[in-house]
Amino acid sequence: MSLLPQHAPDTLARAADWRDQAACRETDPELFFSDVPGTVGRAVAVCDGCPVIQQCGTWALAQHIKEGVWGGLTADERRLIHRRGYKGRSRGKQGAA
């Protein structure tokens, strides 16, 4: 016998967020974390066509993500932004695409 009611309310469903619309959801994640020359440009090209590029980049900056391409920004670009005094929102609970 199940402890959940037959028609449980949809309270267990994850709330939709920006990651659900990310262009990279249909792309091999290795592309965004590769050391192979030329892959960074291909990863950034995926980001350039993404409807949530700004949310992704902002999230990566706020979370201090050190690796990969996020929101069209490389790890080096994000480090430079932080060195220049990035003052984004505090770390949130939402994760990456």
Alpha-carbon distance 3 to 16, whole Å?
26
Residue 1 lies in a domain: no
Please state whether the predicted TM-score (pTM) of the whole model is above 0.85: no
Q: What is the pLDDT of residues 14-25, one digit of tens each?
A: 667 899 999 999
Residue 24 lies in a domain: yes
Residue 63 lies in a domain: yes
Q: What is the pLDDT of residues 51-79, one digit of tens each?
A: 999 999 999 999 999 999 999 999 999 99
Which residue type, as a one-letter code, is found at position 86?
Y
Cα-based distances in Å from 74 to 30, 51, 55? 14, 18, 15
Residue 89 lies in a domain: no
Residue 4 lies in a domain: no
Q: How many domains does the chain have?
A: 1
What is the domain extent for residue 31?
Answer: 18-83
- Residue 19, classified by CB atoms within 10 Å of its CB into exposed (0-12), middle (13-18) or buried (19+), is middle
Q: Would the pLDDT of 92 be above 60?
A: no
